Structure 1
Amino acid sequence: MTPPPGTAAEPRFATDVITFYHPAFWGLESADAVRELAFVDAGAFWGRTLDALAEAGVTGVELTFAPGDIESALRAFGSASSFRRALEARGLSVVSAFVAGSDAPDWRQGDNLSTIVADAERRAAFLADAGADLLVTGLPMRTTFGTRPPFFVDAAYMSRMADIAHAVGDAVAAHGVRLAFHTESNSTLWYERDIDLFMALTDPRYVWLCPDSCHIALGGGDPVAVARRHAQRIALAHWKDAVGPIDVELTIDDTVFAQQQPYMTELGTGIVDWRGWADAMSRTPGAGTVLIELDEAPDPVAALRAGVAVARSARG
């Protein structure tokens, strides 16, 4: 088992690159303008992002969907090893990368296993060269409630997902990378029952968990209870707060992530039991990293500093 890269007294604090996607941080008017800036000048995008991380005192970063993805880092730095050196020059490091974006192969049918595995191997090779050992992904989204024909998240479906997860977990392990699954709202790994079923069907040597405290709470679950039940398999967790459970049936389409945003809030202002969560996290293999997730913060430096303060207080 890979030892956690922090200490019980002071973990490594990290965040997802999405923290830096708010147009106000860039002096721009829209999210599209931010994406355009990052595409035209990836070096400028990453330079300012990494400087802001260092200023906030957050030393770890999780790559995600564009513009803060693997392809963007390669455009800016040319190689994973060059990206790693740029990070190290600022006292930073890559924690993980999230499998996201339109180029990520769809797991739903399971008839494209070779494509899924090849994509994961490519990402794992980048992570290994960048000095990281964790690839985070999720399970496919549910369909809107009432859709015909209905889509059931049943034992047969989860068995197919487990088979794919095993193949991917085995493939990335050859690069020294672990595969962990994120508990995204409205996905097929959202409710406590989903998580328990998937964990029961997968081999702990090949499949890890990345619980998100906010998303579990949005599904009406207890993030602390989930973390305690699956503590031995938690390689990383997303520390994020929720206003309350989602109390309506959302339309699950390209806008679903925007629909979820009103239910999310800054650490310490929602319903998550942070002391209980911190205690549960301290007993996991991922205890050495605290990844604070703040989607599109207008002032990411201030927001990260506030989030770190909440996490430190919760840890006692």
Structure 2
Amino acid sequence: MPASDNLRFGVDLVTFFHPGFWGVDSYDAIVDHAKSHPRQFWDKILDSIQASGVTGVELTFSPFNWQDAIKTYGSVEAFGAELSARGLQLASGFFAELEASGDFTEAAAQAAIIAKAEQYADFIKACSGDVMVIGAPMRQTPGEEPVRFRDFGQARVIADFLNRLGAILYKKGVKLAVHTEAHSIFAAARDVDLLMLLTDPAYVHMCPDTAHIILEGSDPIQLVDRHHERMIIAHWKDAIGKMPADTPVGADIHERHRPYFCGFGLGRVDWPAWIRLLRDRQFNGWAILELDAAVDPIGDIANGLTLVRQALLPIYR
């Protein structure tokens, strides 16, 4: 088997979250369109992924989540059949409940998160997937009161929960991978190092996102190399540079990220070094070519895949 066959390429559905792609004028209008014309909405997404040339799908938040997919097509089996008919596979499912949970340290909140994750894992497994990517809790804006220090004690709390959640999912045949979301407690090099130290590598894995690591001012090549054995899936995305240290971290933080993302190969990611790292560490898994809310997702994904095949895969081989 050629070495390049160890890399399978997919896309996260957040890539399709741009009003222009849907012919509407706002993000709310996308949601309204998805609710009023669900079959048309999902068929367009899956047809577009097929046309782009990648074969993997990573589900994410509503209206791109697993519940919406089942509601649209009627069952897990029917959704799986729609993927298969287009030569697509479920690469992974993004789980955002921890990021949005508020005080996840409360027993009731943890129980609710675990229950939702178990249902999601059953769906992922039924679609022949085996990876759940999870977003970590967000940091607060520097200087915000009362101050919450992300110190060793606080890191142990989240690590304990991730260990237990990872063990529960493991029994269902699904692996938990923490996503390096900028401005979360798992993106800057120090934070990643700390949480990787405190979690059990048998149950907690890593989904590095090259662009989000750069937004935090860290080097994705150096950071991932330190923890390469924990990486089971990766988001390939480019960024123009670090965001200001005093960036407000509020409900709009994901929108604040978007101006810093750029087309594949146009930013600060050293892609030849990245592909050499994956080659040398013998990475085998999904590479998610993610673009947040792309105006032309089909063209952007296809162009990114062309660059990968022409410039990077020869290095990998």
TM range (shorter): over 0.9
Contact 2:8/2:287 (8 A) holds in 1:
yes
Among 105, 109, 113, the alignment partner of 1:109 is 105
Cα deviation code 1:248-282 (max 9, x no counterpart): 41111111111111111111000110011112223
Change (3 A) 1:113 1:104: same
Moved over 3 A (4+): 101-108, 282-286
Q: Could you tell me whether the CA contact under 8 Å between 1:12 and 1:59 is conserved in 2?
A: yes
Alignment of 1:226 with 2:223, yes or no, is yes
Measure the CA separation in 2 of the matches of 1:278 and 1:55.
Answer: 25
Matched residue type, 1:68: F
Q: In 2, Cα distance between the equivalents of 1:47 and 1:40? A: 14
Of residues 43, 48, 56 in structure 2, which corresponds to 1:60?
Answer: 56
Q: Which residue of 1 aligns with 2:246?
A: 249
2:4 to 6, 9, 24: 9
Matched, 1:134 2:131: yes
- Tell me: CA distance 1:26–1:16, structure 2 relative to 1, closer, same or farther (3 Å): same
- Cα pair distance change 1:286/1:137, threshold 3 Å: farther
State the one-letter code of the partner of 2:140.
T
* 1:19 aligns to 2:9 (yes or no): no
- Counterpart pick for 2:85 among 63, 85, 89: 89
Q: Shift of residue 51 of structure 1? A: 0.5
Task: Quote how far apart the aligned CAs of 1:41 are.
Answer: 2.2
How does the TM-score come out when normalised to structure 2?
Answer: 0.93
For structure 2, which runs of at least 5 residues remain unmatched after alignment? none
Please state how far the C-alpha of 1:293 moved relative to its aligned partner.
Answer: 0.6
Are residues 1:216 and 2:213 paired?
A: yes
Cα offset, 1:102, TM superposition: 9.5
Given residue 226 of structure 1, which amino acid in structure 2 is its aligned partner? L
Q: 2:150 aligns with which of 150, 153, 156?
A: 153
TM-fit CA distance, 1:283? 4.8
Identical counterparts, % of pairs? 38
In structure 2, how many angstroms separate the alpha carbons of the residues matched to 1:102 and 1:19?
A: 21
TM-score by length of 1: 0.94
Q: Deviations over 1:34-66 (max 9, x none)?
A: 111111222111101000111111110100011
